[in-house]
Structure 1
Amino acid sequence: MMKKPVAAKTNSAKQAGTASPSKLIDGRIKELGDWRGEMLGRVRALIKEADPDVVEEWKWRGVPVWEHDGIICTGETYKEMVKLTFAKGAALADPAGLFNSSLDGNVRRAIDIREDDKVNEKALKALIRAAVELNASKKKPAQKRSV
């Protein structure tokens, strides 16, 4: 007897029929209620300033994700830090040295922000823009259909 294939699970709020990803991110910022919520809100604002066309998603059981032609970065919160993980960070120039985590891999790079850290806003926005440009350069052109 053949089993029916199980549909892939997604945590995107739109597909789950719950609150929008932006509302869920608002809720996460509020629920944290400490420096981590403030920092997540600040980096979120910087991401939106750097790329006004960014799309917010909510994936993997509660991780804010910012996308534009692919994932730019995620915003995870831990007890001691806010972690911004850039999906293709290893391919990005980082002249300001913001990346301080996940440096051994071939693809991702992360920025761990701790409570007393100051964010170099200009450099972070430049990284966001570079990630968007990289995603756009890797985007496959739409295929023409023959009639």
Structure 2
Amino acid sequence: MKKPVAAKTSSAKEAGNASPSKLIDGRIKELGDWRGAMLARVRGLIREADPDVVEAWKWRGVPVWEHDGIICTGETYKEVVKLTFAKGAALADPAGLFNSSLDGNVRRAIDIREGDKVNEKALQALIRAAVELNASKKKPGKRSA
């Protein structure tokens, strides 16, 4: 009987040990449509909002942005680019960006559909708030991600 395989924290081995940033670049290019353009755009906004953000590639192909823990993930589906904030339920969202995963106690998500306008200023405020929340929950002696 085979043992269940634990979820990987990085799929770099599967992609020839490429860095997470290169894997995200590849995903953007591979999509080649509005989803790739949107993923690139939100990635740029995340990097702008937090110049110290760390990019990761988890769960066999999900772009993740971290700073003292996960800020958000950037999944792409047929109809949406989904930004899931790991601790979104604890974040103030005065602009009402969260429009998905609203019933949970922890996460919140933003589903972006083709043609949607992104409130860049509000998204960057959410990113900064997530970083601040992660920093406030950081355990003493734990290294920053």
Question: CA–CA distance in 2 between the matches of 1:45 and 1:76?
Answer: 15
Q: Relative to structure 1, is the Cα distance of residues 79 and 9 closer, same or farther in structure 2, using a 3 angstrom cutoff?
A: closer
Query: What's 2:63 paired with?
Result: 64
Runs of at least 4 residues off by over 6 Å: 2-8, 14-17, 144-147
Q: Relative to structure 1, is the Cα distance of residues 35 and 10 closer, same or farther in structure 2, using a 3 angstrom cutoff?
A: same
**Cα offset, 1:10, TM superposition:** 3.3
- Deviation digits for residues 77-136 of structure 1, max 9, x if unmatched? 000000000000000000000000000000000000000100000000000000000000
Q: Relative to structure 1, is the Cα distance of residues 138 and 12 closer, same or farther in structure 2, using a 3 angstrom cutoff?
A: farther
Higher RCO (CA-CA < 8 Å; seq separation 6+): 2
Q: Relative to structure 1, is the Cα distance of residues 145 and 69 closer, same or farther in structure 2, using a 3 angstrom cutoff?
A: closer
With the length of structure 2 as denominator, give the TM-score of the two structures: 0.89
Q: Relative to structure 1, is the Cα distance of residues 132 and 3 closer, same or farther in structure 2, using a 3 angstrom cutoff?
A: same
Q: Contact 2:67 / 2:144 at 8 angstroms: preserved in 1?
A: no
Question: CA–CA distance in 2 between the matches of 1:22 and 1:112?
Answer: 22
Q: Relative to structure 1, is the Cα distance of residues 36 and 15 closer, same or farther in structure 2, using a 3 angstrom cutoff?
A: closer
2:97 is paired with a residue whose SS is coil
- Pair member with larger Rg: 1
Q: Relative to structure 1, is the Cα distance of residues 139 and 39 closer, same or farther in structure 2, using a 3 angstrom cutoff?
A: same
**Cα offset, 1:56, TM superposition:** 0.1
**Cα offset, 1:11, TM superposition:** 2.2
Q: Relative to structure 1, is the Cα distance of residues 32 and 92 closer, same or farther in structure 2, using a 3 angstrom cutoff?
A: same
> Which piece of structure 1 moves more, 126-135 or 6-15?
6-15
Aligned residues: 144
**Cα offset, 1:15, TM superposition:** 10
Q: Relative to structure 1, is the Cα distance of residues 136 and 17 closer, same or farther in structure 2, using a 3 angstrom cutoff?
A: farther
**Cα offset, 1:54, TM superposition:** 0.1
Q: Contact 1:72 / 1:87 at 8 angstroms: preserved in 2?
A: yes
Q: Relative to structure 1, is the Cα distance of residues 22 and 146 closer, same or farther in structure 2, using a 3 angstrom cutoff?
A: closer
Question: CA–CA distance in 2 between the matches of 1:21 and 1:42?
Answer: 17
> Which piece of structure 1 moves more, 105-114 or 4-13?
4-13
**Cα offset, 1:3, TM superposition:** 12
Identify unmatched segments of 5+ residues in structure 1: none
2:60 is paired with a residue whose SS is coil
Aligned-residue Cα RMSD (Å) equals 4.0
**Cα offset, 1:146, TM superposition:** 23
Question: CA–CA distance in 2 between the matches of 1:79 and 1:86?
Answer: 20
